[in-house]
């Protein structure tokens, strides 16, 4: 399966005093792409997910411009109650950042992690990518 691609528009307010997009804005960009990916094929996981870890490697600064950033997203390391989402953030075709997010499936009524369902595993496998890249891969 090829990577899921989502375009994210920067906001002028994402810039910091050093005249590049602030590192905190990237978490919002990643969230927008991750949510778009899941809603692309599946309305939601049966009880939801929480984020247990983020890792971002900044490779080059991004300066605001009106063109969207391209976020490529894929999934790997599907385990009993968690999975990893990986991202590449491209600015005019050049990788500006690589990131990963560990997601944990949760039963909110019981307030504890829960096992992925077979349907959820199938959805996640559909977002797999064989290209090694990003923090925590390889």
Q: Which two tokens stand for residue 106?
A: 């949760």
Instruction: Specify whether the CB–CB gap between 8 and 29 falls below 8 A.
Output: yes
For the entire predicted model, the pTM comes to 0.87
Q: Which two tokens stand for residue 23?
A: 């590192």
Q: Which three-class secondary structure state does DSSP give residue 123?
A: helix
Query: What is the residue whose two structure tokens read 């971002």?
Result: 56
| CATH 3.10.129.10 for the 4-125 domain, yes or no | yes
What string of pLDDT tens digits covers the 138 residues of the chain? 679 999 999 999 999 999 999 999 999 999 999 999 887 666 555 568 899 999 999 999 999 999 999 999 999 999 999 999 999 999 999 999 999 999 999 999 999 999 999 988 988 898 988 655 444 443
DSSP state of 3: P
């Amino acid at each position: 399966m090829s990577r899921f691609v989502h375009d994210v528009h920067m906001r002028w307010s994402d810039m910091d005093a050093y005249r590049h997009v602030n590192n905190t804005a990237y978490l919002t960009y990643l969230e927008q792409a991750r949510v778009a990916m899941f809603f692309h094929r599946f309305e939601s996981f049966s009880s939801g997910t929480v984020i247990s870890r983020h890792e971002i490697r900044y490779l080059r600064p991004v300066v605001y411009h009106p063109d969207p950033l391209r976020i490529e997203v894929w999934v790997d390391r599907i385990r009993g109650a968690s999975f990893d989402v990986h991202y590449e953030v491209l600015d005019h075709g050049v990788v500006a950042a690589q990131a990963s997010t560990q997601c944990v499936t949760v039963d909110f009524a019981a307030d504890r992690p829960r096992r992925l369902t077979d349907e959820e595993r199938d959805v996640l496998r559909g977002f797999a990518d064989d290209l090694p890249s990003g923090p925590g891969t390889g």
